[in-house]
Each structure stands twice: as structure tokens, then as C-alpha cells.
Amino acid sequence: MRYFRKITGEQLYLSPFDADDTEIYTKWAEWMNDRTVADNFGEYQNLVSTANAKKILGELKGYRFAIILLDNDVLIGHVSLHDINHLCRNAFLGIFIGEEKYRGKGYGSEAIRLVLDYGFNTLNLHNIMLSVHADNNAAIFCYKKAGFQEAGRRREWVFKNGKYIDKIYMDMLAREFKEQGDEGLKCE
């Protein structure tokens, strides 16, 4: 598959998400069957085949990007702005890094910063929100690092591994993103 450098950062770039790309839906199915990835979405109970992944990905709406490493064009994850309300100027952000060996290296933070810049400065959004399970400490750390703040929570909303977990909602406003300036765009 040939990827397109729609949004370029220091370590990676975001390419428009093409659901017809065999590599993308094959990798996506692999990632959604990985317990670590699927648990963070509350989806481990689902069985995801490549055909099922292609159908799901073909139905997705919004701005969806493949996360690609700059130095070797390797697909490592997915980031999106979806459920966009253009009248109210808000959207939801979704992200995951599929391969364990690419987690904890700052790629998620950089992809978030790039898609936030696109959302606030290109799409003219006012508020971008996300949700995360309260036991996903790495993701919460990443979101706070990017400038997200907790906006609320659903108590004991997700049943996972024999216990109930809170679902946390976090958001960021356009002015908060702009206040971070260029320093907020650097991901280490």
C-alpha cells in the first residue's frame, strides 16, 4: 500500500485511512483480536475477521488516519476525529497504537497533537472529547500530556475482566490548544 503524507510530524505522519487497503484491514483485525488493544475498547469478547474488519472500516465516518512511521513507512496504528457536529463545532477523538513494540515511545502523543492541530486549525472545531477506561493509565497519561482534562466520568460503566471500571471523559478546547503553542506540539 502506498500511504499519503497528509499531516507530517517529527517521527510519523498521518495518511488518509483507506478501508480498501488489504494491509490496513488485516492489521486492524489482528490488533482488534489482541487482548491488550481490544480490552481498552471493551471489545475483547468480539471475534474480528479480516472480512469483518473490512466491513466495519468501510462504514466508519469522520476523519480517519493511518499512523505511519516516517523512517520506514510502517503502519503502527489509527487515529480519528469522528461523530463531528459542525454546528456545535465538536468531535470525538479515537486512537490506538496496534503493536506493543511501538507503545510508550511517544508515537501516540505525537499523533494526538497532529490530529488536534488538524481539528482545531483546519476543521475549525471548538471542543474535542475522548473517552478512556479508568484502568488505562498509559492512555490517561498520554492524554494529559497532550493537554486533555477530565470532563466527567461514568461510574462502573464497563465490565472487564470480572470487575466494573469507570469510563472517563476528557476534552480540550481550541483556546487551550492554542495556549500550549509550539511547545505543546513537541512530543517526547
pTM, rounded to two decimals = 0.83
Of the pLDDT bands very low, low, confident and very high (cuts 50, 70, 90), residue 161 is confident
Q: Given this structure, which CATH class describes domain 7-185?
A: alpha beta
What are the two backbone dihedrals, phi and then psi, of residue 185, each rounded to the nearest 5 degrees?
-85, -15
In tens, the pLDDT along 65-111 reads 999 999 999 999 889 999 999 999 999 999 988 888 998 899 999 99
- Contact partners, residue 87, CB within 8 Å, separation at least 6: none
